[in-house]
Amino acid sequence: MKEKRIILIGAGLAGSLLAVYLAKRGFYVDIYERRPNMRTTKISAGRSINLALSLRGLHALQGVGLDQDILKIAIPMKGRLIHAPEGALNFIPYGNNDTEVIYSVSRGQLNMAMMDLAEGYDRVKIYFNKRCTGINFTTGEAEIFDETTGETSCVKAGTVIGTDGSASAIRYDMMKIGRFNYSQSYLEHGYKELSIPAGPGGKFLIEKNALHIWPRKTYMLIALPNLDGSFTCTLFFPMEGGVSFASLNTKEKVRRFFDEQFTDAVPLMPTLIEDFFSNPTSSLMTVKCFPWHVGHTASLLGDAAHAIVPFFGQGMNCSFEDCVVLDECVGRYGDDWEKIFSEYEALRKINTDAIADLAVENFYEMRDLVADPAFILKKKIEHVLEEKFPDRFVPKYSMVTFRRMPYSIALSRGKIQDTILSELAFGKSNVNEIDWNKAEKLVNEKLEKLI
């Protein structure tokens, strides 16, 4: 029997997990990673320091036996803790029970754990400081540039999967061949990471088990807990215009702005000004493309195929789900990569498009959260409907985060639910005024029972 070999480009979260799935199927996997080995060299973990792991991601980790280990280094967040401008707090739980939580994990720790697991298989090799500079889609050869020696060589397994992230080199090459649909679109907002350090003895200075949000209509600050007692904060903020990264260009302006808008956070951020001017301002992009594969020689997976904005906390979870679906296709078709890639992209494309749109939508929800009484009322109605009709009405956030139904179904049911909520809330200002008979009628009429 011939040796089944495959090349992955990129040993980030998606690449490392995919390598484990493929190794378990008996494949020899060579991963070429452009960065140094993060377990022996101190480097930035990539796009953002921490991530929200939820059911889809956990399920994918469970498939390779990694879920329990990761949960040990994760912090459960039970809901959103909303910080109003004058400092008032309002806790909004994510789910209806204690198991409906999301987990703050460190991108670096997670990635290192998965690289360790991957390299635990003899069949998996990770080559660091190796940048892919081109793909021959006819032969499946990859051109590899060695960042340390400056030499270029060719490697070949016949099949290459690009797990090389939102700026994928493989996808870039696919654009040069005909009839490749592609879009990249930027939000007007960018982001900057800031920090709330731990208190004495690693004490959490704000609620540990929550995702903190300071929503301010056109922008927002969020904070996620880290194991050492610190919080990683992210300011999502317009790039240009009146109140923007471009206009906050002096220490005094930044100080005054934060004092006014994030009054309760400022005393906890001793390095605010330094961080603001030394940390990069990053942009927020959605990438969609199709097809994801070229014959049996190449395909894309994870951010390389579908970079999304971070507002639903699903980027990583979605990429991990890609691995599960691809693995199921491998289960059906062995090493017939043309069939595997075709079915995988047919199953996934509609869903990754859906989460991309959901993620953009959720930005507007998050930053407007406390400001709009109509929105708060709808959230209250939603909560009641979920309790009354658990087999039909599941809030959009829960469908995405605590269920594994296809994202496309979550999107379409979410839209129907929105119309129901709008109809029930119309002209009302209090949840006690809602006509629950009408609600029952609408829910039964418009929402199929969930299987």
Residue from 26, 91, 120, 182 touching a copy of itself (CB under 8 A): that is: 182
Rounded to a whole number of angstroms, the minimum distance from the CB of residue 308 to a copy of itself is: 15
Closest by Cα among 365, 350, 346 to 410: 350
Q: How far is CA 401 from CA 52, 240, 387, in A?
A: 10, 32, 17
Residue 3 exposed, middle or buried by CB count within 10 Å (0-12, 13-18, 19+): exposed
44 interacts with a copy of itself by CB under 8 A: no
Rounded to a whole number of angstroms, the minimum distance from the CB of residue 183 to a copy of itself is: 4
Tokens of 415: 């839209």
133 interacts with a copy of itself by CB under 8 A: no
Rounded to a whole number of angstroms, the minimum distance from the CB of residue 306 to a copy of itself is: 14
Rounded to a whole number of angstroms, the minimum distance from the CB of residue 251 to a copy of itself is: 25
Residue from 180, 204, 257, 375 touching a copy of itself (CB under 8 A): that is: 180
Length of the chain: 451
Residue from 150, 178, 201, 242 touching a copy of itself (CB under 8 A): that is: 178
Per CB under 8 A, the segment of 31-39, 92-100, 173-181, 202-210 that binds a copy of itself is 173-181
Give the DSSP per-residue string, 178-232.
SS-EEEEEEEEEEEEEEEE---GGG--SS-TTSEEEEE-SS-EEEEEE-TTS-EE
Residue with Cβ nearer a copy of itself (84 or 239): 239
Per CB under 8 A, the segment of 73-81, 178-186, 322-330, 409-417 that binds a copy of itself is 178-186
Interaction with a copy of itself in 262-321: which residues (CB under 8 A)? Answer: 283
177 interacts with a copy of itself by CB under 8 A: no
Rounded to a whole number of angstroms, the minimum distance from the CB of residue 285 to a copy of itself is: 8
What is the C-alpha to C-alpha distance for residues 81 and 344, in angstroms, rounded to an integer? 38
Residue with Cβ nearer a copy of itself (68 or 283): 283
Instruction: Note every long-range contact of 97-102, with CB atoms under 8 Å and residues 24 or more positions apart, other chains counting.
Output: 100/398, 100/401, 100/402, 101/76, 101/77, 101/209, 102/52, 102/53, 102/54, 102/76, 102/77, 102/211, 102/313, 102/401
Type of residue found at 14: A
Residue from 44, 184, 249, 412 touching a copy of itself (CB under 8 A): that is: 184
| C-alpha atoms less than 13 angstroms from C-alpha of 276 in its C-beta half-sphere | 24
Rounded to a whole number of angstroms, the minimum distance from the CB of residue 162 to a copy of itself is: 18
Residue from 138, 183, 432, 437 touching a copy of itself (CB under 8 A): that is: 183
Residue with Cβ nearer a copy of itself (187 or 405): 187
Residue from 138, 149, 181, 437 touching a copy of itself (CB under 8 A): that is: 181
Contact 213, 81 (CB under 8 A): yes
Give the DSSP per-residue string, 345-383.
HHHHHHHHHHHHHHHHHHHHHHHHTTT-HHHHHHHHHHH
Vertex 56 angle, CA 382 and 31, to 5°: 150
Contact 55, 403 (CB under 8 A): yes
Residue from 239, 325, 405, 450 touching a copy of itself (CB under 8 A): that is: 239
Rounded to a whole number of angstroms, the minimum distance from the CB of residue 69 to a copy of itself is: 37
Rounded to a whole number of angstroms, the minimum distance from the CB of residue 282 to a copy of itself is: 9
Rounded to a whole number of angstroms, the minimum distance from the CB of residue 180 to a copy of itself is: 7
412 interacts with a copy of itself by CB under 8 A: no
- Which parts of this chain interact with a copy of itself (CB under 8 A)? 175, 178-186, 239, 283
